[in-house]
Chains A and B, each alone.
Chain A
């Protein structure tokens, strides 16, 4: 759980360590924009901007969606992935509990057998 959070946090900070990427976030805070809009605004090549957006996307700070030939960027976490990750962590919590519960069940079964024998004797 914690490791996942740390990794995520590190990725977010790495993404924020660059002035252009911070500018892109600020820009997207005002309005969604296509990669070519952003490239133009920051006087960059399309390839260069694609890389920056990729880093922001990896960090979960930006989502992109391609419609036709235009890829639109917006601020935000990837909700579905966030949810899948949360569900997996929740599953691990219950799995850990149930592993111990398995042992409790085994123990109760044995006790019941012993008690059963005693009663019959």
Chain B
């Protein structure tokens, strides 16, 4: 039954926007065709979160997803291609207001953002706004410069190559 439902086209696809609102803030928005209590439920029940957080198209699978959604509760998502080397995202919920607001920390590093998600219902639709506020401009710049492991790694290799080339040119 699920398979059939998932193959049905969504009535009207809404646009997702991402904007760097300030030196240390990213804002993601999207409207959903449903009441806030339902969208909120999909963000707060681990078994539902699991279904949409790691879409197949990204090529990464969610290995585990735990979330105790209450103030002070912790979450931990593990991604990866193999269970032996998972990539973990974890933190703590610091604000949980049913159907309207969720705030959590991202504790993977000291430069992690605080994420605030608001759910605003209007005429049966819900506008979702996710704000990620980084501790500094440098923290967000760092994420943008090296977020993807692959990309960061490739540019590191390139840097090394440039250093080697520089050294060899210098000698000649």
Pair A99/B33 contact, Cβ less than 8 Å = no
Q: Check A41 for interface membership: any CB of B closer than 8 A.
A: no
Chain A residue nearest to B57 in the complex (CB)? A96
Main secondary structure of the interface of A (DSSP, over half): helix
Pair A105/B145 contact, Cβ less than 8 Å = no
Interface size classification for chain B: 35 or more
Given A86-B144, A94-B28, A106-B33: A25 and B52 interface contact (C-beta under 8 Å): no
Q: How far is the CA of A108 from the CA of B37 in the complex (A)?
A: 10
Given A16-B165, A87-B18: A105 and B42 interface contact (C-beta under 8 Å): yes
Q: How far is the CA of A114 from the CA of B163 in the complex (A)?
A: 66
Q: How far is the CA of A107 from the CA of B132 in the complex (A)?
A: 28
Given A93-B58, A108-B34, A108-B42: A25 and B18 interface contact (C-beta under 8 Å): no
The stretch of A1-9, A32-40, A47-55, A65-73 that contacts the partner chain: A1-9
Q: Check A115 for interface membership: any CB of B closer than 8 A.
A: no
The stretch of B88-96, B108-116, B154-162 that contacts the partner chain: B154-162
Q: A residues within 8 Å of B by Cβ?
A: 1-2, 5, 8-9, 12, 16, 22-23, 25-26, 29, 82-83, 86-91, 93-109, 112
